[in-house]
């Protein structure tokens, strides 16, 4: 399954990128993520985290996985590991339009043999839209 979307923002890329590159901050704003714990890595160009999320509020089941975060210029990529029967990657590409305007291209790829994977994928897309709104709200409140 593949999905891509674009989000248009006013402001400076440098102010918004940290909300996506630091998974601890990202996790606080993401509607499904419950906990984020940073793990040690040998490579300074990547960060590894253990993440716990509760994808469905009505089901008392938490999903645990590892997220490898890679940063390269205007691209922040996430590789999800240790999620049974599932390969999941997504990234955010930051594209400057003008000095005070930019867009974020969001792309996700998921290949899974997990039961309910389509429902999980749809839930993940909805969470991304909520995340973008939460980031905007956080930035707006910090500028007051």
**What confidence tens digit (pLDDT) does each residue in 38-64 have?**
998 777 778 899 999 987 777 788 889
CB within 8 Å of 139: residues ≥ 6 apart: 11, 15, 16, 19
Residue 89 burial (C-beta neighbours within 10 Å; 0-12, 13-18, 19+): middle
Is 81 a residue whose pLDDT tops 90?
Answer: yes
| pTM for this prediction | 0.88
Cα 59 from chain centroid (whole Å): 22
- Spacing of C-alpha 141 from chain mean position: 21
pLDDT at 144 over 70: no
Is 117 in contact with 86 (CB distance < 8 Å)?
A: yes
* pLDDT tens string 113-123: 988 889 889 99
- Using the structure block, give the residue that is written with the tokens 């974020």: 104
């Amino acid at each position: 399954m593949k999905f891509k979307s674009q989000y248009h923002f006013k402001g400076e890329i440098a102010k918004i990128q940290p909300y996506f590159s630091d998974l601890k901050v990202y996790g606080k704003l993401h509607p499904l993520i419950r906990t984020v714990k940073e793990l040690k890595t040998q490579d300074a160009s990547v960060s590894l985290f253990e993440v716990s999320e509760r994808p469905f509020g009505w089901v008392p089941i938490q999903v645990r996985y590892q997220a490898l975060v890679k940063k390269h210029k205007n691209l922040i990529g996430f590789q999800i590991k240790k999620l049974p029967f599932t390969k999941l990657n997504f990234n955010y590409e930051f594209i400057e339009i003008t000095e005070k305007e930019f867009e974020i291209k969001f792309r996700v790829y998921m290949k899974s043999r997990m039961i309910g994977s389509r429902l999980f994928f749809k839930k993940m897309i909805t969470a991304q839209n909520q995340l973008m709104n939460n980031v905007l709200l956080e930035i707006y409140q910090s500028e007051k």
